[in-house]
Amino acid sequence: MTGDAQSGAVYLKASATLVSMQQEMYKDALFFLSEAKNCIATKQDIPFGIWRFFRAVILFSFAATEATINHFISAHIDRHRNELPQAEIDKWTEKKKYMSMTNKLREGIQWFGNDRFDERSQLWRDFLELKEWRDALVHFRDFGRANTSIAYLSPEESLKTAEKAIRTASMMIKKIYVAHPDNRATYPSTFDEMPG
């Protein structure tokens, strides 16, 4: 028994798995969309189950985008820690004040990559819509109007919303990746995977 535990500990110390959380969450969004489509295609009468899959798509699409911007902000801080004023580090690590996701995107991409989001673009409007869907789910809001949140959409409407969430996350994430000078305008091919 003792030998097994020790060999297991050695194995754990000797092995490593690198995970890209933004890619994993994006794949999760695709997976849950596929599950929802399977339920609809096989006419399974489990509305809450289908909605649960759609809810996961929205949450994972948003989380993948947030993980991406946070990753690049954190990497920029790590790389330039000795050059950045402590107040700047504290701002981006949210030591003193919370920074919204929209501000991270607005300012962060310019901070580490000298690029910007065009806030008049369809992509930015789609992202804000994704954020509203995510906020409505996480904070249980229906945008101030009775029965209008994503929780009340039909499966067909939810399907369109979920597919749009994945497309929006894909485009936002790719923009973040290509903005970083080290990436030479490339990004992981995972983000080219679209709902089938």
> pLDDT tens digits for 125-157?
999 999 998 988 888 755 555 555 666 777 788
Contact present, 160 and 150 (Cβ < 8 Å): no
What range defines the domain where residue 179 resides? 21-192
164-187 mean pLDDT: 93
User: What pLDDT is stored for residue 143 in this prediction?
Assistant: 53
User: What pLDDT is stored for residue 42 in this prediction?
Assistant: 83
In a domain, 184, yes or no: yes
User: What pLDDT is stored for residue 3 in this prediction?
Assistant: 44
User: What pLDDT is stored for residue 53 in this prediction?
Assistant: 92
Structure tokens at 88: 């700047």
153 vs 161, which has greater pLDDT?
161
In a domain, 12, yes or no: no
> pLDDT tens digits for 46-103?
777 788 899 999 999 999 999 999 999 999 999 999 999 999 999 998 888 899 999 9
Radius of gyration of the chain (CA): 20
Structure tokens at 92: 């981006």
How far is residue 29's CA from residue 68's CA, in Å, rounded to a whole number? 15
How far is residue 170's CA from residue 148's CA, in Å, rounded to a whole number? 26
pTM for the full predicted model: 0.84
Domain count, the chain: 1
Q: pLDDT over 70 for what percent of the chain? A: 84
> Torsion angle, CA of 56/62/65/67, rounded to 10 degrees?
-70
If residue 106 lies in a helix (H) or strand (E), which one and from where to where? none
Contact present, 30 and 193 (Cβ < 8 Å): yes
User: What pLDDT is stored for residue 138 in this prediction?
Assistant: 86
In a domain, 81, yes or no: yes
Only one residue has tokens 């990436």, namely: 183
How far is residue 7's CA from residue 141's CA, in Å, rounded to a whole number? 50
How far is residue 168's CA from residue 25's CA, in Å, rounded to a whole number? 14
In a domain, 3, yes or no: no
In a domain, 98, yes or no: yes
In a domain, 145, yes or no: yes
44 vs 137, which has greater pLDDT?
137
Reported confidence tier of residue 10, pLDDT bands at 50, 70, 90:
very low
Reported confidence tier of residue 113, pLDDT bands at 50, 70, 90:
confident
In a domain, 62, yes or no: yes
In a domain, 1, yes or no: no
Q: How far is CA 126 from the centre of its chain?
A: 14
